[in-house]
């Protein structure tokens, strides 16, 4: 049942990396903005693209302004910072003459989006919801990007300020929510994880072969970013260490883009890993097709405490598609796959431990099917997109007028 508000709001939605399903990548903001528009709100979304000129388009009842700010996953860290601040500057220039916004919804990363929302709150009196997808600055600090001793303290102060002045902070994982509650205990928080599109992603209807072989292999799909934080390099050793009797039966398909992809492809070629295929980044339909051909899905991150709080879109897509989940981070993703018997946890991408864990599923298709059924059930019961979107839209029922800054 569609919810229509008595008071329609004009909502400014800030998301530098906005993507449509046709483009691929993270499409959370597309569906959230559409849900707001369907509820009767006017949504103006400010994003960026790699074209040289500004562009405005209408999508599914909401408007998207694309600002000319270059960004690519292959950029170095300091080049990324230039892009982040470039987006913030252009957004501020565009909206500084606007006076009819009721509420701002800003989604990170990067933290500069939160800084922008805070600046608009102070200068324009527009209150804001702040969505935290990943913990900044903790993530780049743990990854070793900020080497100047004064930087961590300065950035943590900004993080607290952004949380403290938000109307409410939306967290994408329990770990992120717990962190925010420590940093800003007086600010309300709400957990809305990434969601599973259970209408679009569905389990494959093809019957499993009772025995995997070179012609009917067990396929493990990775459909995400090839970044340093993903720790995919360690998985090359896992693939290389495949027991001889399974060499022709287990295939790996890695789809996506990122700064590490060229290096990973070169290493795979050096190691003659013929069972590993690399695919270019694709749209949502192509991801669906890749998952339909797979029996399992890989979700990989480096062994860093902050990355245990991640809420990766590819995890929830794989749940909806009914795949055996393979995760290598301790934390809530491990808890989910173990509690619901829908996957395996591999500590620190240990090659020996991985094959010990996986082989029982290769040898027993009934066990594999049970895990896949459990994955789909978890998606439907806890992460269905329609349920998460309703919680999100309900968030705006409390907004009757903007909370002015002081």
User: Which is higher by pLDDT, 335 or 145?
Assistant: 335
Does position 69 have pLDDT exceeding 90, yes or no? yes
Question: Residue 119 has which token pair?
Answer: 């600046």
> Percent of the chain scored above 90 by pLDDT?
81
Burial class (CB in 10 A: 0-12, 13-18, 19+), 361: buried
CA distance 290 to 44: 33
Please name the residue that has the structure tokens 């992460």. Answer: 383
Q: Is the pTM of this model over 0.75?
A: yes
Secondary structure letter of residue 22 according to DSSP: T
List, as one string, the DSSP characters of 317-329.
HHHHTT-EEEE--
Domains for the chain: give ranges and CATH numbers.
Answer: 10-195+384-398 (3.40.50.2000), 218-382 (3.40.50.2000)
List, as one string, the DSSP characters of 208-252.
PPSS--SSS-EEEEEES---GGG-THHHHHHHHT--GGGTTTEEE
Total residue count of the chain as it appears in this document: 406
Quick check: helix, strand or coil at residue 15? Answer: coil
* Edge-to-edge strand ranges of the sheet holding 10-14: 55-59, 62-68, 42-49, 10-14, 103-108, 128-132, 168-171, 189-191
Check residue 348 and give its pLDDT.
82
CA distance 392 to 39: 11
- The per-residue pLDDT for range 251-268, each reduced to its tens digit, is 999 999 998 999 999 999
CA distance 180 to 194: 18
Quick check: helix, strand or coil at residue 35? Answer: helix
Question: Residue 297 has which token pair?
Answer: 């899905």
Please name the residue that has the structure tokens 């992603």. Answer: 201
- The per-residue pLDDT for range 331-353, each reduced to its tens digit, is 999 999 999 999 999 998 899 99
Q: From 328, 32, 1, select the one nearest 197 (Cα to Cα).
A: 32
Check residue 148 and give its pLDDT.
76
Does position 181 have pLDDT exceeding 80, yes or no? yes
Q: Which segments of 266-316 are extended strands (E)?
A: 276-279, 296-299
CA distance 295 to 362: 10
**E strand or H helix at 59, and its extent?**
strand 55-59
Check residue 71 and give its pLDDT.
87
Check residue 73 and give its pLDDT.
73
């Amino acid at each position: 049942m569609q919810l229509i508000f008595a008071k329609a709001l004009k909502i400014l939605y800030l998301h530098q990396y906005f993507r449509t399903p046709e483009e691929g990548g993270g499409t959370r903001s597309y569906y959230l903005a559409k849900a707001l528009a369907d509820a009767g709100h006017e949504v103006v979304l400010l994003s960026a693209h790699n074209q040289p000129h500004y562009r405005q388009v209408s999508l599914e009842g909401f408007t998207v302004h694309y600002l000319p700010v270059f960004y690519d996953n292959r950029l170095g860290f300091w080049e990324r910072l230039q892009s982040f601040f470039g987006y913030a500057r252009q957004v501020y220039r565009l909206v500084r003459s606007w006076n009819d916004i009721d509420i701002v919804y800003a989604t990170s990363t990067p933290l500069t989006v939160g800084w922008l929302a805070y600046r608009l709150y102070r200068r324009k009196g527009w209150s804001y919801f702040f969505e935290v997808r990943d913990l900044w600055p903790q993530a780049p600090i743990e990854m070793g990007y900020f080497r100047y001793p004064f930087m961590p303290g300065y950035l943590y102060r900004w993080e607290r300020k952004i949380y403290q002045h938000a109307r409410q902070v939306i967290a994408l994982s329990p770990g992120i929510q717990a962190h925010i509650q420590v940093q800003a205990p007086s600010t309300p928080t709400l957990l809305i994880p990434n969601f599973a599109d259970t209408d679009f992603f569905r389990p494959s209807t093809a019957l499993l072969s009772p025995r995997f072989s070179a012609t009917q292999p067990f396929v493990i799909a990775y459909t995400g970013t090839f970044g340093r934080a993903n720790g995919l390099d360690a998985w090359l050793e896992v693939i290389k260490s495949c027991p001889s009797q399974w060499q022709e039966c287990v295939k790996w398909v890695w789809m996506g883009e990122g700064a590490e992809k060229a290096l990973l492809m070169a290493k795979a070629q050096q190691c003659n890993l013929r069972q590993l295929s690399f695919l270019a980044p694709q749209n949502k339909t192509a991801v669906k097709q890749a998952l339909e051909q797979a029996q399992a899905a890989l979700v990989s991150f480096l062994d860093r405490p902050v990355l245990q709080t991640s809420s990766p879109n590819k995890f929830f897509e794989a749940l909806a598609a009914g795949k055996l989940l393979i995760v290598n981070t301790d934390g809530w993703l491990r808890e989910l796959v173990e509690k619901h018997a829908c996957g395996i946890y591999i500590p620190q991408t240990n090659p020996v431990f991985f094959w010990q864990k996986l082989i029982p599923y290769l040898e027993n298709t009934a066990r594999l099917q049970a895990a896949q059924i459990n994955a789909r059930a978890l998606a439907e019961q806890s992460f269905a997109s329609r349920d998460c979107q309703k919680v999100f839209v309900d968030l705006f029922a409390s907004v009757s007028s903007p909370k002015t800054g002081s």
